[in-house]
């Protein structure tokens, strides 16, 4: 890849709208015998132009990132890419300290060395673990901080359907044959939420396999190579498709498996000085708004290139300048192909 393209960056970004009913994907606390769904304040504009705050069910970006990294670890393992064994079990301790590394990361234990400096330690960890590469880590004893190459926003109800959002506690009873008295049965209430949700994701594909600490310190090599980067980005895309295509994230899935359907999805592949991110799916006009923003930024930002792909099952309207696909998965894969072509150029 040319120096100009490396400095500009190559990105994949996704926004979607999905109906999710009867979900307990992110539980935040217990109050007595009630397990509460995570809630957050959201500001929206009424028809009269005034603004209001409502508290709605949400799923945190941390929850989404946890499951994404688990799918990434599994995709990497199947592809023969390096991944820490503890990450395949769903534990992401992020190389926090020498003790953590000694006890949980045999892949790098004995290889990291504070005396050899941050660049050496970043290279050792990133070479041996795709989750550390794509998901970042903070090795405090070795003074290495690697920022995550992917970002998730909170999954929040779409503003155009804010009135069709509900959280309600469902009654569950634990009972034993020996129960005789009135207080012998355990009554438990678990919040279940239903909403038309929107979520957003960004992958800084051009920075996968690049060693930022080494680059800042002008130490070589500061890159694992274009071929390795492409293999790891493919695994990152595979993990995203598996996760979103199956709503494979969140808590309490064994007994509160949600009913869900992706209504629409917009995937944008871009290269430039910053990722071009599709507008959040707070209304059906988010595809049109995305395309209008893209045209405006192309006039204002030199060298911005982008390709827009989308899936539509709810009537998003005209989409000149974007490619329509029959499934959400196809839209993501098409945008990812654009990204990989530029990474491999």
| pLDDT tens track for 48-68 | 899 999 999 999 999 999 999
Does position 103 have pLDDT exceeding 50, yes or no? yes
Kindly report the three-state secondary structure assignment for every residue of 107-127: CCCCCCCHHHHHHHHHHHHHH
- Which pLDDT score is estimated for 145? 94
- Other CB atoms within 10 Å distance of the CB of residue 246: 11
pTM of the model: 0.93
Say if strands 259-271 and 156-157 run parallel, antiparallel, or are unpaired.
Answer: unpaired
pLDDT at 179: 63
Tell me the backbone φ, ψ of residue 160, rounded to 5 degrees.
-75, -5
pLDDT over threshold 80, residue 345? no
Tokens encoding 32:
């007595």
pLDDT at 312 over 60: yes
Radius of gyration (C-alpha) of the chain in whole angstroms: 22
Whole-number pLDDT of residue 30 = 86
Question: Average pLDDT of the chain?
Answer: 93
pLDDT for the residue 4: 37
How far, in Å, CA of 267 to CA of 197, rounded? 17
pLDDT at 101 over 50: yes
Band (pLDDT 50/70/90 cuts) for residue 182 is low
Res. 344 pLDDT band, cuts 50 70 90? confident
CA distances from residue 155 to 19, 113, 147, 245, 305 in whole angstroms, order as listed: 11, 39, 21, 15, 28
pLDDT for the residue numbered 5: 40
Give me the mean pLDDT over the 98-116 stretch.
93
Q: pLDDT value at position 338? A: 97
Q: Residue 174 — pLDDT band, cuts 50, 70, 90? A: confident
What mean pLDDT do residues 86-115 have? 94
For range 310-318, the mean pLDDT: 92
- C-alpha–C-alpha distance, residues 296 and 104, integer Å: 49
pLDDT confidence of 184, banded at 50, 70, 90? low
Report the pLDDT averaged over residues 160-166: 93
Query: In 3D, which of 132, 151, 34 has the Cα closest to residue 86?
Result: 132
Dihedral pair phi/psi, residue 13, rounded to 5°: -135, 145
């Amino acid at each position: 890849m040319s120096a100009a393209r490396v400095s500009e960056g190559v990105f994949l970004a996704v926004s979607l709208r999905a109906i999710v009913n009867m979900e307990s994907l992110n539980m935040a606390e217990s109050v007595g015998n009630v397990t509460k769904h995570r809630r957050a304040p959201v500001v929206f504009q009424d028809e009269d132009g005034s603004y209001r705050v409502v508290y709605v069910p949400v799923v945190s970006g941390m929850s989404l990132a946890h499951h994404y990294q688990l799918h990434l670890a599994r995709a990497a393992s199947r592809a023969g890419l390096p991944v820490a064994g503890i990450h395949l079990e769903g534990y992401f301790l992020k190389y926090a300290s020498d003790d953590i590394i000694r006890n949980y990361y045999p892949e790098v234990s004995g290889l990291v060395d504070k005396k050899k400096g941050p660049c050496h330690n970043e290279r050792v960890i990133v070479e041996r673990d795709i989750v550390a590469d794509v998901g970042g880590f903070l090795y405090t004893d070795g003074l290495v901080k690697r920022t995550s190459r992917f970002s998730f926003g909170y999954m929040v109800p779409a503003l155009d359907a804010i009135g069709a959002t509900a959280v309600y506690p469902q009654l569950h009873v634990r009972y034993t044959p020996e129960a005789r008295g009135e207080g012998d049965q355990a009554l438990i209430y678990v919040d279940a939420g239903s909403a038309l949700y929107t979520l957003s994701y960004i992958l800084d594909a051009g920075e996968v396999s690049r060693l930022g600490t080494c680059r800042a310190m002008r130490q070589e090599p500061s890159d694992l190579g274009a071929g390795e980067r492409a293999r790891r980005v493919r695994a990152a895309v595979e993990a995203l498709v598996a996760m979103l295509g199956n709503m494979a994230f969140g808590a309490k899935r064994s007994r509160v498996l949600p009913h869900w359907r992706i209504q629409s999805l917009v995937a944008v592949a871009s290269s430039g000085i910053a990722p071009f991110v599709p507008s959040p799916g707070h209304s059906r006009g988010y595809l049109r708004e995305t395309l209008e923003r893209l045209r405006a930024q192309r006039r204002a930002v030199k060298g911005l290139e982008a390709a827009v792909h989308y899936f539509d099952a709810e009537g998003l309207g005209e989409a000149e300048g974007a490619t329509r696909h029959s499934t959400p998965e196809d839209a993501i894969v098409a945008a990812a192909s654009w990204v990989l072509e530029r990474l491999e150029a």
